[in-house]
Structure 1
Amino acid sequence: MVSKTLFNNTETAFRLKSDSELERAYFLFKMISKEPLVRIGTAATKFALNLHLPVEGLIRSTVFDHFCGGVNEEDCLSVVDSLYGAGVSSVLDYSVEGKEEEAQFDATRDMILKLIRFADEKKAMPFSVFKPTGFGRFALWEKKSAGKELTAAEISEWQRIVDRYDIVCKTAHSAGISLLIDGEESWMQTAADDLCEAMMEKYNKETPIVFNTLQCYRWDRLDYLKEQHARAKAKGYKLAYKVVRGAYMEKENDRAEEKGYPTPICESKQATDENFDAVMKYIIGNLDAMSLFIGTHNENSSYLGMELLEAKGIAKTDSRVWFGQLYGMSDHISYNLAAEGYNVAKYIPFGPVKDVMPYLIRRAEENTSVAGQTSRELSLLKKEKERRKL
């Protein structure tokens, strides 16, 4: 029987945090809880970095060290080892965003290949990860998704994206490292889904290596999953998905309104929650053909995932099901799940401080806009501070 009080255990949740790290976390979430401060802080940080003002040390010692593992993969090793000591695996996420040049896409490909080889030598790192726009221009993904005819130059450019995908998937397959491919905006995602499906067909014949992402704030994802299941069954390969709620809701709704098409986003938070749970339930009901990475900070969905596994007699350690959260967030879910014996991984972003700032700003804005998330972090940190005083 799954205990609905499991995530209340703050001693386990914050076992890796020193008193000073606990205080820093409390201070950060206190700041993030104030929307005007987040707006002013992000604007001031961008301004200071663009002017090359000496603020990197301050960023590094506060928000960067809380949400990121380091400036390079070697820098992350102490965090990876520390987490693994608590039963939590790591997904090193090279969180450099918004690049536009071919040389930068090749550099990202080379970094992902390096991370796969890095993970191959480290039991604590069973996954690698990348974003589609890390391998090619957003505008090209968008044009391809819209079904528009590509120019000769764009056809060559697209082939280079396919080649980057293929070498990364091939390397992951050879190493036995699972590869999580992140989801992005809906108007570029169709091309990303199609390419990921092609890689699944090629590399998921026996073991699900390539994972696509299902963003469940999109109301069409369960139907899409069922279509994928039918195709994979017919062609004889396995599916693998990271299931998340999604990170671009306001941008999606604004664009739909601006361009006059129906929003792809669920009509309410409750509808999104129900969609997420239905997708998770469908995959757990078909584990003979699929693997699942449950990417959620939602307690109810985490409890439901545990209950579904128990009801179907699936072992907590079954390699086909993982739970995952972001580093620096929802430790009460991650470490308590790990203590119970479930497969748990933390996404650990890393990269040069300036290059990772877009990611950090998104995290701050997300914590401000997601109702209850920051207040939950604060109340848990406060509870642990009081427990330690006693």
Structure 2
Amino acid sequence: MEIFENTETAFALKSDAELERAYYLFRMISVEPLVKIGTSLTNFAIKANLPVEGLIRTTVFDHFCGGVSEEDCMPVVEKMWDKGVCTVLDYSVEGKDTEDPLDDALAKTLEMLDFVKQKDAIPFAVFKPTGYGRFELYKKISAGQQLTASESSEWDRVVRRFDQSCKKAYDLGVSLLIDAEESWMQPAADQLVEEMMRAYNKKDFIVFNTLQMYRWDRADFFRDQIEKARSGGYKVGVKVVRGAYLEKENDRAERKGYPTPICASKLETDQNFDNAITMALDHLDNVALFAGTHNEMSSYKLMSEIESRNLKKNDPRIWFGQLYGMSDHISFNLANAGYNVAKYLPFGPVKDVMPYLIRRAEENTSVAGQTNRELELLKKERKRRSI
């Protein structure tokens, strides 16, 4: 049964005005030149301190974000919770290069863990590796280069930030998702996350790494992680996604003359993603899965696997995840059918969240099928409500 066609359930939380805003927003996003002009103008306006925050807040920000603070997000969190959809609060301020913002990011994660512990509607916390350390430092370690004395001290501080976060998550019994980033900094982050799993995933699924399955090497990496965990006596938490840096990855590989880490086609990426889902379910005694996907076929495949393996729909080791403001037809229909679903809900000061919002707009433009599908469903619901 194709449950994702049910727009009444998908958009139950949207007022008529919010439905109209979503419709016109996705119409604009579907026009690539308009997105390019809009993002350039927005960047210019923010750098020039022009008074555009109010306009951004009432349009793209309110559609894709929950608010400027945790408390600001709570009305959205509670409305989704009423429909059975959980939240992952994502402080979406991009990484900085100086120590104070890195310590601020740590403080924010520790604060978020306390906040999450009190809310059944928010089962996960999350952070980005570059929130805790300089990108160039991860890059240097990933390339196997020798660190200077001061860089070694700097890296020790990054390790401490990871450890403080994961230990607190462990002490509170809260699961912590750690995002993936560009391939040329990821090995250093992967190694750190593996160390955290070894320390804190002995009994429960506390620390989750993220695998971007548009990378052709991730299936072997995942297989290796499962083996290491089994022999090391710990568990693997994994968030499986397709990936967020495709153009940047291909451009850098071409520019520097090395083979791209990205699968040769979308079909290969889809197969890689679905194979990772199967691999996780094959080892469910020792793996917990957060399937981050906006792809309907992958969602149906996971539903089918859950059924064929006689697993409960709400098995605590299996989660579906989507981004707030996108694919409501997947999230709310899955939750309505009894599956575990969480929406990533970005928040933070409007100016600081703009890089995230611009990336969302650009991604939606580059994945034309996604935007067209959103528009088709929004049109269908507008028509239903007008009858």
- The 2-side partners of 1:370 and 1:176 are apart by 37
- 1:107 — aligned with what? 104
- 1:279 — aligned with what? 276
Q: Once the two structures are superposed, what CA deviation does each residue of 1:89-133 show, in whole Å capped at 9, x if it has no partner? A: 000000000411100000000001101100000100000001000
- The 2-side partners of 1:380 and 1:202 are apart by 45
1:292 aligns with 2:289: yes
- The 2-side partners of 1:247 and 1:255 are apart by 14
- 2:262 — aligned with what? 265
- 1:164 — aligned with what? 161
- 1:184 — aligned with what? 181
- 2:52 — aligned with what? 55
- The 2-side partners of 1:95 and 1:279 are apart by 27
Q: Once the two structures are superposed, what CA deviation does each residue of 1:358-377 show, in whole Å capped at 9, x if it has no partner? A: 00000000000013010000
Structure 1 counterpart SS, 2:185: helix
- 2:208 — aligned with what? 211
Please report how far the alpha carbon of residue 72 of structure 1 lies from its aligned counterpart in structure 2 after TM superposition.
0.7
Please report how far the alpha carbon of residue 210 of structure 1 lies from its aligned counterpart in structure 2 after TM superposition.
0.2
- 2:304 — aligned with what? 307
- 2:233 — aligned with what? 236
- The 1-side partners of 2:158 and 2:313 are apart by 37
Please report how far the alpha carbon of residue 229 of structure 1 lies from its aligned counterpart in structure 2 after TM superposition.
1.0
- 1:37 — aligned with what? 34
- 1:317 — aligned with what? 314
- The 2-side partners of 1:244 and 1:370 are apart by 15
- The 1-side partners of 2:170 and 2:293 are apart by 26
Indicate which of 22, 25, 28 corresponds to 1:28. 25
Please report how far the alpha carbon of residue 285 of structure 1 lies from its aligned counterpart in structure 2 after TM superposition.
1.1
Structure 2 counterpart SS, 1:372: helix
1:201 aligns with 2:203: no
1:374 aligns with 2:371: yes
Please report how far the alpha carbon of residue 175 of structure 1 lies from its aligned counterpart in structure 2 after TM superposition.
1.1
- The 2-side partners of 1:296 and 1:248 are apart by 15
- The 1-side partners of 2:364 and 2:169 are apart by 33
Please report how far the alpha carbon of residue 174 of structure 1 lies from its aligned counterpart in structure 2 after TM superposition.
1.1
- The 1-side partners of 2:148 and 2:109 are apart by 29
**Matching of residues 244-255 of structure 1 within 5 Å:** 244-255=241-252
1:76 aligns with 2:77: no
Q: TM-score, normalised by structure 2?
A: 1.00
The residue type equivalent to 2:276 in the other structure is: V
Structure 2 counterpart SS, 1:267: coil
Do the aligned residues in 1 keep the contact of 2:209 with 2:237 (CA within 8 Å)? yes
The residue type equivalent to 1:154 in the other structure is: E
1:335 aligns with 2:332: yes
Q: Once the two structures are superposed, what CA deviation does each residue of 1:141-162 show, in whole Å capped at 9, x if it has no partner? A: 0001001000000000000000
1:90 aligns with 2:87: yes
- 2:64 — aligned with what? 67
- The 1-side partners of 2:65 and 2:50 are apart by 21
- 1:119 — aligned with what? 116
Do the aligned residues in 1 keep the contact of 2:95 with 2:102 (CA within 8 Å)? no
- The 2-side partners of 1:48 and 1:258 are apart by 31
- The 2-side partners of 1:122 and 1:291 are apart by 21
Do the aligned residues in 1 keep the contact of 2:30 with 2:368 (CA within 8 Å)? no
The residue type equivalent to 1:120 in the other structure is: K
- The 2-side partners of 1:7 and 1:305 are apart by 14
Indicate which of 135, 142, 145 corresponds to 2:142. 145
Indicate which of 342, 347, 355 corresponds to 2:344. 347
- The 1-side partners of 2:368 and 2:23 are apart by 18
- The 2-side partners of 1:106 and 1:20 are apart by 40
Q: TM-score, normalised by structure 1?
A: 0.99
- The 1-side partners of 2:174 and 2:237 are apart by 13
Structure 1 counterpart SS, 2:342: strand
- 1:9 — aligned with what? 6
Provide the alpha-carbon RMSD of the alignment.
0.5
- The 1-side partners of 2:95 and 2:244 are apart by 16
- The 1-side partners of 2:339 and 2:204 are apart by 20
- Between 1:172-181 and 1:331-340, the stretch displaced more is 172-181
- 1:174 — aligned with what? 171
Q: Once the two structures are superposed, what CA deviation does each residue of 1:58-112 show, in whole Å capped at 9, x if it has no partner? A: 0000000000000011100101101100000000000000411100000000001
